[in-house]
Amino acid sequence: MSGATTNGASSSAAGGGYFSNMKSSELAELQTELNSLKPDDRREAAKQVIAMMTIGKDVSSLFPHMVKCMETTQIDMKKLVYLYIINYAKAKPDLTIMAVNSFQKDSREKSNPLMRALAVRTMGCIRVERITEYLCESLKDCLTDEDPYVKKTAALAVAKLYQTSPRLVKDHALIKLVQNMLHDGNATVVSNACASLLEISRAAGKNYLRIKSGSGPSASLNKVLVALNEANEWGKIYIMEGISSSYETADMKESENIIERVVPMLTHNNPAVILSAVKAVLKFLENIQPPTGDLAKGVVKKLAAPLVTLLASEPEIQYVALRNINFILQRQPTIFESNVRVFFCKFNDPVYVKLEKIDILVKVADDKNADIILNELKEYANDMEIELIRSSIKAIGTIILRVDKAAKRAVEILQELVNTGQPLCLQEAVIVARDIFRKFPNKYDALIKDLCSKLLEYYEPEAKAAIIWIIGEYAEKVTESEKIIDSFADAFLEEPDKVKLQILTAAVKLFLKKPEEGEDVIQKVLKLATEESDNPDLRDRAYIYWRMLSTSPQNTKQVVLGEKPHIADDSYNQYDDTLVSALIDQISTLGSVYHKTQDELANMQKRAAGGQPSVTPQPKKEEEEPVPQVEEQKEKKKVKKQEEEEPEEKPKKKKKADEKPAKAEKKKAEEPVKEVKPTPVVAPTNAGLIDIDDLLGMGDSQPVSQAPQQQQQSQNQFMGGLMDFGLPSQPQQQPPAVAFSNPFGDEEEEDSTAGAGWAADFGGQSTPAEDYSKYFLTRVHPLMKEVVGNGSKGKDGKTGLFVKAGFSMANAGIQLVLEIRNGSGQIVKDFDIMFNKNPFGIAIYGAANAIDIPDPGSSTVQKALPCVIDKKNLVAGLTNNGFTNLASVAKQGATMVYFGAKTVNNLPILLEIAAVQGSTSVSVTYRVPVAPLKPLLEDTLDYILSSERRA
């Protein structure tokens, strides 16, 4: 039987391994072979077991038989058994205890240091705490072994044991023994001790690699530096990593000494050793004073050659080196001033290497080498790689911003690319040109002409936005700029938002610079932006421009055409000093390639694994009130949980628990209550009029008596600009207080919209009340605004017609009241009103036949024009602005109307407005999710429900 097995094994070995011809009945045969008295049979059987384990077969049933094979002096047999035990230790911890005695015996084998080291390494790889606690004494003995190989293996085993059980390492004072190994005379022992202590320090978050300077018995710095020259490649990396991350020099002389010892490592042929040496030199170079002295400059020059050498390696190593050079240049910008050409792209470089080289070329550009770099980038711009073309042209533009003397040559290159380059070059060139004109205004007019000659070739949104900005900025220099902007305005609705914004701004600039030519364009663009656009940013900006132009074109010119801030020339791919310092500490690690800190890398790893990145929890403020719906759900869950946990014999307590949330909810609903009691006043001659710039009480028309007129104009909110009849040219009187009638109807009415009035209409309900004027809020303001005055010209350019306008509430509904005075000295017949589209859905009914202009010199004539409301547009418009009428209830002589709204950042607000029959006051109860909204909401309620404002 044994002979057949031996022959089979021999033939398998002759065929190249033990991974073929496996049979299901072989486990029984292997068990017999492992119990054989012949060492050769046991060894061959062990090899078969390891082969089956390697290909994934379960051979754990042979565990007791493999442990028996440990009793041998053959080192190769020991290795096979130890490998088997390491693999199945976690699955068979009870059986693994059988091998503890063998481990302890092997670790004390005096005659064979390889046996001791093998036992120690295996003990470190068994990650089962109940097993390792029996091995600590053996490990402790090996840390003080006479053989260096055993000691260096034991040092690494301590780091592995710390990952399994930090308590065992501390209880047996193993870290202290590893620290003592730093004084050892063997370089391998010292380097492995550094590696072990570094690993323990990272795991514990505490520095255990305590290198001490001086000449006493506890000094270890010199020992470590001496071992640096004698250690192997990995040992050198561990030593330099330990010195740079764990040791702080006492003075500049000590820093010079360490740099002097580390500099020879820059000539090593291993890229990892070179990067570790660069890290150590940069770390201790910070202590060399002055930073620009001859000593510091000499050290910096020594760093250039080894980094340049890495660029002759494989592409992957080149990329890692370039990513490290990228942020090293920010700390030492002159390090490659004489080695610029090494960053020129080669024809066989991968694209990712070329892109990194272009980034570095931008950073090393200065007055001396700018022309050489620009010519090189020009060649890259004619390449076939899209990313390379984009990066090259962007780099040219960045060099212009960084090096002023290179601007002329760079502009010449851009002109060549615009005239002769491929379409993609044109898209990037116009974007770069925009930044050039911001940096150097009113220069390089020839470039403007070349760019404008290619108007039909811009197809990317960013490129279109750039050329429109250039045309608007230099509208007075561009031939027929009004026609160009008008052609862009024809396709206004089809363009992306960033292009629309530039068309709007360019139209305003054109109107300010060329009023006569730009008048039609600005009206067209403003109308499209305010009436047809769905983008709130675009629409709001259009309203702002409209109000500014109608109020003070001169001030608008100062704002829009004023001096613009300069573009920062050091903003290209720059990192703050804190991040650069962190990246230097992470040279030769993954963080230096990603340009991320350790915490950011950890979060990236969690996101990649599908977890949540770590976020510091914020304590909840006590004064913050929860959202009512969420609070109600919490209370329901709480009650449900109490019902599940309460025993059946205590039904009364459960009932009380149900009552508590209701009481708490009722108490919160009663606080805070803001009661507004307006002072009754006598209505003036224009009583009942509604502010034309504050339609339905949603604007912000501030009386002049409270502030100067200029301040009043600056504080007008944009909602008033929806109608855009302009601000009054004459100061207004102090408005009286608001007189409230009961807007909620009789208490007997139980209609679904009863008591809602305007609020119900604004809430966007599907079936609003038919009689929109049934419930309304009377606003008493002197709100007649002058909309046509001395500055208003007719078709023939004549002036003298004065018109004031205001809205009023009548029993029939809303009316537009006009006061017309003819001061032109002649009869006016051709007169009409254009009523702009507005989100309230209001339009004039029969205006064309109702208006007659009084004769010259006669008194002022007042006309009241009835208005109609497009209910669908009214409801939709206000619903889109966040107003929702939730419900209305009439009971016990009072009517309560409930509203819900959301802020721009989606914070919900709940209101309960209660009006008592016969009372002139209303009470408002509100609930907000966060405390900072309280004063803002109270000020808003004060403004809406009262004529008096807070100071």
Residue 203 in tokens: 């795991």
d(CA 23, CA 43): 19
Alpha helices by DSSP H, listed for 108-232, are 113-125, 129-132, 136-143, 148-164, 166-171, 174-180, 187-204, 221-230
CA–centroid distance for 228 within its chain: 43
Specify the higher pLDDT residue, 345 or 667: 345
| Nearest CA-CA partner of 667 in 935, 933, 923, 927 | 927
> pLDDT value at position 665?
43
Residues 782-791 pLDDT 10s: 367 777 876 6
Question: CA-based angle 642:644:645, to the nearest 5?
Answer: 65
Confidence of residue 809 (pLDDT cuts 50, 70, 90): low
Residue 874 in tokens: 């009214």
d(CA 14, CA 806): 106
Confidence of residue 277 (pLDDT cuts 50, 70, 90): very high
The mean pLDDT of 891-915, rounded to a whole number, is 74
> pLDDT value at position 614?
54
Is pLDDT of 361 > 90? yes
Residues 701-716 pLDDT 10s: 333 333 333 333 333 3
Please say whether the beta carbons of 358 and 391 come within 8 A. yes
> pLDDT value at position 486?
92
Residue 125: how many CB atoms within 10 A of its CB?
16
Helix (H, G, I), strand (E, B) or coil at 810: strand
Please say whether the beta carbons of 377 and 344 come within 8 A. no
User: DSSP characters for 71-122?
Assistant: S---HHHHHHHHHHHHHHTTT-HHHHGGGHHHHHHHHT-TT-HHHHHHHHHH
Specify the higher pLDDT residue, 699 or 815: 815
Strands 894-902 and 884-891: antiparallel
Specify the higher pLDDT residue, 733 or 152: 152
Residues 370-424 pLDDT 10s: 999 999 999 999 888 899 999 999 999 999 888 888 888 999 999 999 988 788 8
Mean pLDDT of the chain: 74
Least confident of 69-78, 434-443, 455-464, 663-672: 663-672
Question: CA-based angle 938:943:946, to the nearest 5?
Answer: 105
d(CA 244, CA 321): 19
Confidence of residue 217 (pLDDT cuts 50, 70, 90): low
Specify the higher pLDDT residue, 745 or 859: 859
d(CA 592, CA 920): 71
Please say whether the beta carbons of 802 and 820 come within 8 A. yes
> pLDDT value at position 840?
52
Residue 835 in tokens: 């009523």
Which residues fall within 8 angstroms of residue 517, CB to CB, at 6 or more apart? 482, 510
Q: What is the DSSP letter of 193?
A: H
d(CA 547, CA 544): 5
| Nearest CA-CA partner of 161 in 175, 177, 146, 176 | 175
Which residues fall within 8 angstroms of residue 453, CB to CB, at 6 or more apart? none
Strands 894-902 and 908-916: antiparallel
Environment class of 180 (CB within 10 Å of its CB; exposed 0-12, middle 13-18, buried 19+): middle
Please say whether the beta carbons of 612 and 606 come within 8 A. yes
At residue 898, φ and ψ (nearest 5 deg) are -110, 130
The mean pLDDT of 873-895, rounded to a whole number, is 62
> The pTM is what?
0.60
Residue 336 in tokens: 């490659």
Strands 884-891 and 673-676: unpaired
Is pLDDT of 489 > 80? yes
Residue 301 in tokens: 């020059």
d(CA 165, CA 241): 25
